[in-house]
Chains A and B, each alone.
Chain A
Amino acid sequence: MDLSVTLSGLKLQNPVIPASGCFGFGQEYLPYYDINMLGSFSFKGTTLAPRFGNELPRVAECAAGMLNSVGLQNPGIEKVIAEELPRLRAHFHQPLIANISGFSIEEYTACCKKMAACEQVGLVELNISCPNVHGGGLAFGADAHSAAAVTAACKKVCAKPLYVKLSPNVTDIAEIACACEAAGADGLSLINTLLGMRLDLKTRKPILANGMGGLSGPAVFPVALRMVWQTYQRVKIPIIGMGGVACARDVIEMMLAGAAAVQVGATNLVNPMVCKEIIEDLPGVMKELGILRLQEIVGAAH
């Protein structure tokens, strides 16, 4: 049975990839399992300068999911390259996905160039869809023109495959996907979190200090699947599908809808072993469904 998949020429031993922001820089999962079994992982969204992020509380719960308003807390790109990547080298030998974010095209291109130059990085994932920061992230991902502009600028300086991570908080995600493809994106990641909100009944105020936050977890799976489906019909470049994936069957479903690989986000937080479990469960589910090579089912639902 063959679990391997290929993303823009990059071969992964399996399609299971922890999503950015839910796996830190890998260290916290070392006590739970050998993370080298993962296909890859997308590390915490990194910006040029260190960021603390938003005020607390920055998490809230809902039925089958959670909202976060972290706001891209990260130690800044220099520290990530000087400390986190070397620390990871002893434990992780698969190609990494470098998730980067910015507040201007210059910041995106600077991060992109630096990350693409790192030997451990297999591909760069441009986050233009963070709903938790003002003036950055989503400001670029909310319309086709600015998404294309930042993609084109990064493509020029990026020596590795460039994937653009899209927001579901738009009217037509496929339109933005097409604009990124035309601007030179090698692939797409979708979806980032859906903008949501919870109120505290006693204080009558939002639970999150930021008011709103990004919804993720199993609650969003059908929305994510639909968006992967729609995007697959409009683009030729590979799609990394994510949003609510929690088990091996969800991985298969995402791939049938058109995902060439699959990221797992929030579920890691409530079950730190979930990616290991998914990888171990996949062969059994494939056997049951008569799948020999996972790669062959990408988009098979269309």
Chain B
Amino acid sequence: MIFVINENRPVAKEVFRMVLRAAIANEEVRLRPGQFVNIAVEGCYLRRPISVCDWDARTQTLTLLYKTVGTGTRALARCVPGTSLDLLTGLGNGYTPVEARRPALLGGGVGTPPLYFLAKELAGAGQKPVAVLGFNTKDEMFYHEEFATLCDVIVTTADGSYGQKGFVTDALPGLAYDALYVCGPEPMLQAVFAQARALPAGHAQFSFERRMGCGFGACMVCSCKTTAGYKRICKDGPILTKEEILWT
């Protein structure tokens, strides 16, 4: 599907926000929180997977937040408004919202984008989510204000330059949560996993990242072992529940 860039600018150190609009409106496109798009980037053979940070079906507007880490994301950062991009949309399973009073949304660095869309959906359904957003330093922090329009927000920074000093998991014990949605670097996922045991089945959901070939389930390069057999992170994931994960 072709999208046209409306806006593409930095929101923090090495983090960009890109807002795109479908070139041809397609009411059938349904994007869910936790799903991702796979972007064809000029000069790169493989597409680049980026989580859906927001999708407004009415205005056909897609928001992405991405960090410039290599060739592809740096090329994206150079795209000017008006540029067309070819995206595969609606990829992955997405989070499965569960009944909860106080869901906690835990995001680390550029793991926070999909949680914004989720916070919107959960708040819209009458739940009272709390977002815990972890960054290394204040310079790298983004979107805490946008989250604050939807739900309670706690920011942690590793160096203490903003909010609570420490990691996302340090803030967790103080919260009376009854569901967890997590996205961030793998060590963070593991640390949260260790604290999530007591939650009922399906109430702790983790988003995984793996290098991808296709992003839609055809090539098997992203396949991981789970308690329910092999799962393709791109198609059967990227969201796995605590029950499916093989960590101990």
Residues of A at the B interface (CB closer than 8 Å) are 21-24, 27-29, 44, 52-53, 56-66, 68, 70, 73, 217, 268-272
Contacts and interface: CB of A to CB of B under 8 A. Distances in A.
B218 interface: yes
Interface in B96-136: none
Contacts of A62: 45
B230 A272 contact: no
A279 B193 CA distance: 48
28 contacts: A21-B219, A22-B218, A22-B219, A28-B218, A28-B235, A44-B220, A52-B223, A52-B225, A53-B223, A56-B222, A56-B223, A56-B224, A57-B221, A59-B212, A59-B221, A60-B211, A61-B45, A61-B46, A63-B45, A66-B45, A66-B213, A70-B219, A73-B223, A217-B45, A268-B218, A269-B213, A270-B40, A272-B214
B217 A24 contact: yes
Interface of B: 40, 44-47, 88, 210-214, 216-225, 230, 235
Contact of A59 (B44, B211, B225): B211
Nearest to B46: A61
A220 to B, nearest CB: 12
Given A62-B45, A73-B230, A270-B46, A68 B216 contact: no
Contacts of A56: 210-211, 221-224
Contact of A269 (B211, B214, B223): B214
Nearest to A18: B218
A270 B219 CA distance: 11
Contacts, number: 78
Of listed A21, A24, A269, residue having the most chain B CB within 10 A? A269
Given A21-B219, A57-B221, 16 more contacts: A21-B220, A22-B218, A23-B218, A24-B218, A52-B230, A56-B224, A58-B221, A59-B46, A59-B211, A59-B221, A66-B213, A70-B219, A269-B214, A269-B219, A271-B40, A272-B214
A197 to B, nearest CB: 15
Nearest to B233: A56
A270 B217 CA distance: 12
Contacts of B44: 61
Nearest to A63: B45
B81 to A, nearest CB: 25
A68 B211 contact: no
Nearest to B235: A28
Nearest to B72: A61
A226 B36 CA distance: 39
